[in-house]
Amino acid sequence: MTTRSAHPSRRVRTRRTLGHTSTAAVAAAFAALVCFAGSSNAAKAGSTQTLTASADTYLRSGAPDTNEGGAPFTMLRASGENRTLVSFSESQIQAAAGTGRLISATLTFPITQNSNNWGSTGRTVSVYRLTSPWSEGNGYVQGAQPPNRGTGAGATWNCATDANIATQATDCSGVTAWTMGKPSQPQLHPWVEPATSSALIQNGQTGALSFDVTPDVQAFLAGTAQNDGWIVKKDVEGDSGQVQFGSKEGGSPAQLVLTVASSADTTPPSAPANIGGRGYSRSVGTQAPT
Ligand SMILES: [Ca+2]
């Protein structure tokens, strides 16, 4: 498979498909995008490029000093308020954009386990841009046999960076602490309201859950926002609904799919025969997973 989504109609179809929550459609789109990511060819201007998460973990209000950065999944669920964190390398985002113009950025989470307890009409999950740096950590406790609290620093419910995740103490203060609770005081939270975007998740849904994060990535590229990644949580966290997403450690990390046009390209792409021949030869480098 070529890395170039050279034919305009194919590219448009892919982007439209990602906007739906139809299981089959999302699964098909995700499979196609994974195929793009697997190629070693340098991406070209006007192409769709896929980055893989550089850090992922999830937070648990029910275990507020426990890190799950080494888990083979991330999770959302009502019991103990599980929330997913993910971030992508700023240098990889910059390299992927190059001097081009960002058309779209889609954050995609592969669904690896759906508990199918989302009510009869599904529930809404939203992604927010984080405003605090955090540390992934290497703990794997929930569901692990045996549990491994991990070593060193990592994110927890209480701490953006808990200095010692091996202990059940809150080892952070000041800039390394954050406020995940206090729902009536949103100004204390380390994320931007309102949500960047939302998606519906339903019983029986497989494939992937995707969010449009174009404005956030545009802000990263423009230098008007710091790239601290995103947090994903259910809009009503007390409602039933549990899902696991793939993680780096599980071999199926979240992906950031960027569609970038050449900075000189102000018109839709021309026929495939013209691409690469004149003005489309800029190489932006291969995005290897980290
Ligand atoms: Ca991880």
Q: What is the pLDDT of residues 173-226, one digit of tens each?
A: 999 999 999 999 999 999 999 999 999 999 999 999 999 999 999 999 999 999
CA of residue 73 to ligand 1 center, whole Å:
8
What does the pLDDT look like over 255-267, one tens digit per residue?
999 999 987 655 5
**Which of 98, 101, 28, 102 is closest to 286 using CA atoms?**
98
Percent share of the chain, pLDDT over 90? 74
CA of residue 78 to ligand 1 center, whole Å:
21
CA of residue 69 to ligand 1 center, whole Å:
4
CA of residue 87 to ligand 1 center, whole Å:
10
Q: How many CB atoms lie within 10 A of CB 104?
A: 17
pLDDT confidence of residue 195: 98
CA of residue 103 to ligand 1 center, whole Å:
28
Q: Is the pLDDT of residue 84 over 70?
A: yes
Least confident of 32-41, 105-114, 141-150: 32-41
pLDDT-derived band at 153, boundaries 50, 70, 90: very high
Least confident of 17-26, 80-89, 239-248: 17-26
CA of residue 237 to ligand 1 center, whole Å:
22
pLDDT confidence of residue 285: 36
Q: Is the peptide bond between 194 and the residue preceding it cis, with omega within 30 degrees of 0?
A: yes
CB 48 within 8 A of CB 5: yes
Which residue carries 């966290």 as its tokens? 237
CA of residue 201 to ligand 1 center, whole Å:
22
What does the pLDDT look like over 50-79, one tens digit per residue?
999 999 999 999 999 999 999 999 999 999
Bridge pairing between strands 73-76 and 208-212:
unpaired
Question: Model pTM?
Answer: 0.77
pLDDT confidence of residue 158: 98
CA of residue 246 to ligand 1 center, whole Å:
9
pLDDT confidence of residue 270: 52
CA of residue 52 to ligand 1 center, whole Å:
12
Q: Is the pLDDT of residue 5 over 80?
A: no
Percent share of the chain, pLDDT over 70? 75
CA of residue 120 to ligand 1 center, whole Å:
32
CA of residue 135 to ligand 1 center, whole Å:
10
CA of residue 58 to ligand 1 center, whole Å:
8
pLDDT confidence of residue 263: 73
CA of residue 61 to ligand 1 center, whole Å:
18
Least confident of 132-136, 154-158, 169-173, 272-276: 272-276
Residue 160, strand partner residues: none
CA of residue 57 to ligand 1 center, whole Å:
5
pLDDT confidence of residue 268: 55
92 vs 218: CA distance, rounded Å: 14
CA of residue 263 to ligand 1 center, whole Å:
35
pLDDT confidence of residue 3: 37
